[in-house]
Structure 1
Amino acid sequence: MVSSASSFAAALSAARAAAGAQDYPKGTLYVVATPIGNLADIGLRALHVLDLVDRVACEDTRHTQQLLRAYGIDRPGDRLLALHQHNEAEAAQRVIGWLAAGERVAYASDAGTPAVSDPGARLVAAVRAAGHRVLPLPGASSITTLLSAAGSVQEGGFVFEGFLPAKAGERDAAVAAMAAEPRAVVLLEAPHRIEALARSLAVLGDRLVTVGRELTKQFEEIATMPCSALADWLAADAQRSRGEFALVLHGVAEAAPADDGERVLRLLLAELPVKMAVKLAAEITGAPRNALYEAALKSKAGDQTS
């Protein structure tokens, strides 16, 4: 990961040129997504706002100060507020006071988009309840980053579970419940618990899981395998248990009698074009649309050769 300030010297100027003319109202909380590893992933508008605001609330002031300095933003320590899971309710009141005085305040967690699995949700709720505006600045997220590389999200969408319980019994119960979930499931895990999570996921057998380790960083690794193989994959290389993890448990097609879907499809094909027949057959029977489409093409091909 590139981190020297000189490497990003032109970024702040570019951010001011690209985003400086936009409106940034006072008395507003700006929820700023920051890079999940690679500093070059920050948005120009996010960078401009971090330079513009009167104060920055953040999960870890030391971490955020390093980010700001990498881009040449000089932020005095008294303009940074630590706001994390242990003091979020109290610190939110200080933020509300600043907003009421007409100041602009940014909030950034250590990495990614705040208020999802990181702190920030209580802050946002309190600010809205106090009648102040919240303006989100989109950017990096380990959730969508891994989903885009997993190829697992089909028509049913996905479910975000985040961190499962730390206690073995509760974690195993959560995994057992996911076995009945046909949609893709996104999980997050810390390095000291990834091996325990792998052991719990093993009960899902051949169901595929995509694991993303150190996403966007120099030693990024993304691999897809059956859940039963994840523990062995981690054990094969000591480096694989290091870093932050995101995982996607792949979705599974809901079981549907193939003959029932194809029977309805054949009836519809006699009266309707292929796409319409496939769409209606899938909605009626719940059979996978791709499988029905292939069956429709084979049926049409057979009709033409007979």
Structure 2
Amino acid sequence: MSEKNQCYRCKYKIPKEICGSSQSPYYNQKIEPTNSCDYFLENPAQDYFNLGLAKSLEPETKVEAIHELETAIRLGLPEDDEMSARFLLGEAYALFGGEPDSQELSESINQMEKAVLMDSQGKYGYFSEPINRARLAKLDLGYVMKARSIQNKEGADDAISYIHQKLQLFDYLHSSPMLHLLLELGNHYAEKGNKELASVFYKKLLECEVRDPGDEGGWESETRQWAEDNLKLLEQPSATKSGCFIATAVYGATDAPEVMIFRGFRDDVLLEYSIGRKIISFYYLFSPYAAKLIGKSVFAKSLVRIMIFKPAMWLISYGKSKLTERGE
């Protein structure tokens, strides 16, 4: 038999590399790479899948990989091959999904999420394998981008609901691979002043098994360090009541007059505008860590107070006076 007639390309191949043809001598057996028989029925989808897999490995052929993988899925693959093809497809789309509201990012998340659901329902153990667990980092970051977009457009409560919904998809795994999403959720609850729930999700992140043993770029270790630092901040009661981490660190109390001014500006002005909500989202991304560093140094507190907060307070007061003059 030629390579073209080998069992791995056969229409009768079913999930887990098993022969599904009752007429074949390999029926209900695991297919070996070189197996072939007289009851072979070609499945062109397998060729497109293999071609898409090869092209997905090179950045310059990602667009071609998308075409090959979409064709393979449309023609019909065994479910476990379809699961693998969909995740590869999602990874390819992720390369072009730099904006939170882009169609490419939405399609990337959609395809990778379908692969996760197939793994969960089919019990294939695909994302329990270390190499594939590490690949879920792309989906994790995609979810975070979408959550921040939802926060900017619809508010923190909707973003929190979205995050909870996505985290539940991974309950079938022994340990959640959604490290960035857990950090994001903890930050949301810290911002809302809910110390208990913030602690729950920071601790859950720290209890997660290693997602990427190689950790190229140090993203995983950095995420875990942020969770540790934020937990320590939560042990300082005044730091979490208002969500104004840096202002509280500088002025020493959540009810300091200056902190109250900044909190009022946040609630009454920034939250009313899309750009303001984006500023708040960015602030809460780095402020807990910055507050920890500033809080350790008298010099840093003085510098931030003089160079940043005093001019900011003057601008806020000036803006309020102008609005009062205009009767707004």
Say whether the fold is shared (TM-score over 0.5): no
Q: Larger relative CO (CA 8 A, sep 6+): 1 or 2? A: 1
Bigger fraction of residues in helix: 2
> Which structure: larger Rg?
2
